Amino acid sequence: MPTRYHQPDYILVTIIAVIIIFGLVMLSSASSAISFQKFGDSNYYLKHQLISFVIGIIAFIFASKIDYKTWKKFAFPFLIITVLLLVLVFIPGIGFSYGGAKRWIHLGNYLFQPTEVVKLTFLLYLATWLEKRGKNIHDFLYGFMPFIILMFIITFLVMLQPDLGTMTVIAVIAISTYYVAGASYSHLGLIALGGTAIFALLIKIAPYRVQRFTVFLNPQLDPQGVGYHINQALLAIGSGGLFGVGLGLSRQKFNYLPEAAGDSIFAIMAEELGFIVMVVLIILFLFFMYRGFKIARSSPDGFSRLLAAGITAWFSFQAFINIGSMTGILPLTGIPLPFISYGGSALIISMGAIGILTNISRQTK
């Protein structure tokens, strides 16, 4: 049967467009101080993000025009690429280290973060693999164990960098897709128990993670030391009040709040624009989640359903974790805010993923 296309979900596309444009405006403010300090140009970060945005538009258009079923043909090569990218960061001369982490690859003068690609390539393979398993996904040896082994390999390579935040996002994407595929609750329970034990172990073996968790339980602990980041974030958010101090007038971005243009950009936005605008932003993310899962429910086949659900879970969970960590609801994790935090690799891949979701929306029942 030939593919029958209809109008894409313009509401979903509009939501993402609004979030991205809003993010570019806020990045121009949040990054101005650090840009000038490091490069002598207040718009350095913004200019690079705009270049990534243009590439991202091309990626979005390309992905939205290609029939989503085409990606199934490249599922296994994508898995190989996923593993190779995660290994390349450890090769001297190719991988780039910063702050003790090995998360980037040198591409000339450009730094590329492979884990952003891995989120999409691993999801594409996983959706293909789970669809082929069908009802056998309930089988312990044929469905559950291969899934666990596959997820362990990918998350283990990410954890070696080390990057607990991204590892958590990838694990959530995988488990969400596994759940939508029809996983049994007993297997999901085993994953929950095992994941909790591994998560506790990873926190225990790294002193800085223990400190972050301790500060989460007691934010006033050592405000000039381990509690500095979260206390500065809360100070920024509290200073914004209902309506904010004004666009461009943040004080915390002047080297008081770490990663003002990256993981902490939500706190700068709250300081400058206030509580009401941040509530609107959260509503936009929630509405995106609703539209995304609606596309998944109406998808024409198993592969598209798994893919749409995985992409939606990816951005929804990542946004929830970032905002939660900045407001003290969750421990600090170092996860960027989707479509808004500075990061060219993340923006390009994210817009490509939205392009795939848009293509699926054109073929829903």
pLDDT tens digits along 71-97: 998 888 988 887 888 888 888 777 776
In this predicted structure, the answer to whether residue 304 has a pLDDT above a threshold of 90 is: yes
Q: What angle do CA 255, 256, 259 make, to 5 degrees?
A: 65
- Cα dist from 56 to 22, 27, 290, whole Å: 16, 17, 23
Q: Is residue 133 domain-resident? A: yes
- HSE at residue 216, side-chain half, CA atoms within 13 A, is 16
Tell me if 34 is assigned to some domain: no
Return the pLDDT at 70.
Answer: 93
Distance in angstroms (rounded) separating the CA atoms of residues 119 and 86: 11
Ranges 26-35, 112-121, 297-306: which has the least confidence: 112-121
Give CA–CA dist 221/178, Å, rounded.
39
Q: Is residue 361 part of a domain?
A: no
pLDDT averaged over every residue in the chain:
87
Contact 346/116 with Cβ under 8 angstroms?
Answer: yes
What's the total number of domains in the chain? 1
Q: How far apart are CA 362 and CA 365, in angstroms?
A: 9
Contacts of 91 (CB under 8 A, 6+ apart): none
pTM over 0.75: yes
Q: Are 312 and 293 in contact (CB under 8 A)?
A: yes
Q: pLDDT value at position 101? A: 65
Q: What is the CA radius of gyration of the chain?
A: 20
Alpha-carbon distance of 50 to 43, in angstroms, equals: 10
Q: What is the pLDDT of residue 156?
A: 87
More confident residue, 130 or 220: 130
- The whole-angstrom separation of Cα 183 and Cα 262 is 35
pLDDT of amino acid 276: 95
Angstrom distance (rounded) from CA 289 to CA 121: 21
Asked if pLDDT for residue 180 goes beyond 80, the answer is yes
Answer whether 237's CB lies under 8 Å from 271's CB. yes
Asked whether residue 104 is assigned to any structural domain, the reply reads yes
Query: Which whole number is the average pLDDT over 216-220?
Result: 69
Q: How far apart are CA 336 and CA 130, in angstroms?
A: 28
CA separation for the pair 122, 105 (Å, rounded): 19
Does some domain include residue 78?
yes
- C-alpha distances in Å from residue 129, one per residue of 62, 132, 136: 24, 5, 11
Domain extent at residue 186: 72-295+311-337
Q: Which band of pLDDT confidence, cut at 50, 70 and 90, is reported for residue 99?
A: low
Quick check: 35 pLDDT over 50? yes
- Please name the residue that has the structure tokens 């590329």: 112
Residues 69, 356 contacting (CB under 8 angstroms)? no
Residue from 243, 359, 266, 73 nearest 252 by CA: 266
Spatial CA neighbour of 215 closest among 201, 197, 229, 199: 229
Alpha helices by DSSP H, the chain: 10-30, 32-39, 44-65, 75-88, 114-133, 145-159, 164-180, 185-205, 207-217, 228-240, 265-273, 275-297, 302-326, 344-361
Tell me the two tokens of residue 274.
Answer: 């206030």
pLDDT higher than threshold 60 for residue 1: no
- Position 152 in a domain: yes
Band of the pLDDT at 332, cuts 50, 70, 90?
confident
